[in-house]
Structure 1
Amino acid sequence: MSKKLAAIAAGLLAFTAGCSGAGSTSSGGGDSSDTTITALMVGNPQMEDIQKLTADNFTKQTGITVKFTILPENELRDKVTQDVANQGGQYDVATVGAYEVPIWAKNGWLHEVSTQAAADASYDVNDLIKPMVSSLSGEDGKMYAAPFYGESSFLMYNKELFEAKGLTMPEKPTWAQVADFAAKLDDKSKGVSGICLRGLPGWGELFAPLTTVVNTYGGTWFEKDWTAKVDSPEFKEATNFYVNLLKQHGQPGAPQSGFTECLNTFGQGKAAMWYDATSAAGTLEDPNASKVAGKVGYAYAPVNKTEYSGWLWTWAWAMPKTTKKADAAWKFISWATSKDYEKLVGEKLGWSRVPSGKRTSTYSIPEYKESAKAFADVTLGSIEHADPTNPGVQPRPALGVQFVGIPEFADLGTKVSQEVSAAIAGSTTVDKALADGQKQADDVAKKYK
């Protein structure tokens, strides 16, 4: 993380000051022996699975009841940021990501979990995949959240549609090849789009995939000296490419499509390709949840000027410092991120649905290897090649592949994404969107120069 982060540690507080956050003292109450904890989590399939399994397993084993709140990604980010940054104390555990954890650890907002993890031999902390541990660690080297699942990004494609057109997907496609495939596979008369991509505003929605495109096209949000480059030719070229691809061959309602919407679209066979999180594969290969199970091919994230371009992310369980139930919270976190939980998911819900990408041992489980054989190798390869220190063609001032590891980026990325989403909808232009974004990025850069 940038050395100058300390100077702007209050930046996230400034961002949330205008939000209607909880200003009261902790609503959790009680002490570490209490038998009910509150959990806030993002509404992804892996989280919906744990909600189904908790009462009959974790609660039955420990006597601890977990009250879940599940929200869509953008709403989750707003809610957890308000609660943690404003010391609201409403939740004992929450799903947070690789962007938030180092910043919030620096601000003293999270409990470190390395001590508990190391003290429990059965937890086997050394089994956790190293890039995931690093992304959830503070400057002191301690983990401040435990990874629930880890991911990079890759290209998913419908093999039946490709075969019908006599097309072959390379293992490492370029974006030019992807655009060509999308044009050939787009069949609006049959309700099939050439590709599905996120167009929903949000720094973690639209700009997660789009920033990886910017990186591989030679662009960046900021150069090493904090010069903002949002209106640079490379950033413009990448954004125009993305916007035009969606407008010409993307799914209906693209400006309102995030991860969940594209998962449904592709899973219903209504898109020939989808570039997004590697964690989507488990759901796509589940015949109970997907019409394309067994029909999906997986390729590395498309590139232009770089060798790889996949992002690095983990949804992880963290304990806000405001919780008064840290012991019970850790019991839940350790269970949710354990080898035993992965085995439980595999046996109860299907091995393709295991929340993978966090433990090395997962890839040695025979049942998982069989169920995940179509995507496991590309997933691991994508995670291993993701480089948050050097994701593009020039040095960066802060960590992050699909984000810039500074508190201000949540606000900056979201505001610029709103303009780019409007360009996808046809109500503005990419040039205007990025010109406005450049001004906002210049304001952020002034704090660091």
Structure 2
Amino acid sequence: MSSNAFTPGIVPARLGGEDYAEQFSDLHPRLDPHEALVAADRCYFCHDAPCITACPTDIDIPLFIRQIATGTPDAAAKTILSQNIMGGMCARVCPTEQLCEEACVREAAEGKPVLIGQLQRYATDHLQEQGIHPFSRAAATGKTVAVVGAGPAGLACAHRLAMLGHDVTVYDARPKPGGLNEFGIATYKTVDGFAQAEVDWLLQIGGIEIKTGMALGEAVRLEQLRADHDAVFLGLGLGGVNALQAEGADKDGVLDAIDFIADLRQASDLAQVPVGRDVVVIGGGMTAIDAAVQAKLLGALNVTLVYRRGRDRMNASVFEQDLAASKGVRIVTHAVPKSVIGNGAVREIEFSYVDDDMAETGDKLRLSADQVFKAIGQTLEGDGLPELEGRKIKVSDTGRTSVKGVWAGGDCASGGDDLTVTAVAEGRDAAMDIHAALTGAAV
């Protein structure tokens, strides 16, 4: 990663001190009790609810909404959390407009779905803020499991295993647990330290030890974990970042978007986070949107997001694209970076326009830029990993890898989309299969 230290134009405190709290306030403020009852009353409580099918964690959505409607939000929370132990975070970051809410009968009939995500947050927040943990551990099995990665997949796996009576040790390369939830999601989506509060709440189940600063292949090795534990789950995410294939990409001011987002999430004072005047973000996923929006919120004058395909091919949802546009982010499509221009530090970046088949049209675009964020995908890192499929660990439907006694899930594993809710589902399901393998219990 290039340094900002000697890059003119990339400076902190572009806004007045009082503006940061407003700029980075909660994207979706929590419903109050009356709003929750009104929203719950719109649910048809469908018997064959399509919203359940659309949820990667199979939450019984009509049931939990009925529980809210009847004044029992803590019961609703337990319904949610029994399927998705990180239901609080997922309520904040899930692309519900593409999942449960898109499938909602109200959406099909009226173009206005039940506010499933906000109702889920209302219930889970109500329970977690009381310090209540509604689950308890089963009798000890005497089995131990190593979980690599304290992100959504790893934590979901660890919690389910602990609940089933196993002892779990979680190894994570970062200085604190949480993974993507802690380091990779826009600040305005998870305000007030929610990610760490959710981890602390989850650990109340007991039987889980977390060891930070322990990267796979460095501080710990897979062979040793297999020897020391009865099973291993790999939920290590994607630690590397794809290289920018453009001349001059090593210039100062060309940065990884994921590092920018992590710096924002860990900053004690947002006014001290430097940002450019003219910012260009390259990519079309959630990370690109989060970086672009936050650069604008920090006071960048011009922010342009450039993607190589059309908007209909962007991984970021339409809601996220519209959010970026509403904050003043310009979105340019069908353009690929060709060269980064400047004397030591970036001053401009040139793109070539391409058609739907990625063939260059001959037209060029040159943008002023003192800061460029790469959000062009992440890669798997680690030595001695199980067999890969493409660029991820090959897994079965239950997360089994090519190595006996080793399971995997989340972003590092093949087959799923890179969403928090999918990672939780894969960690949970792998835990159930690990439990069956270790005890012979039916699942």
TM-score between both structures, scaled by the size of structure 2: 0.27
Select the structure of larger CA radius of gyration: 2
- Structure with higher strand content: 2
TM-score (norm 1): 0.26
More helix by share: 1
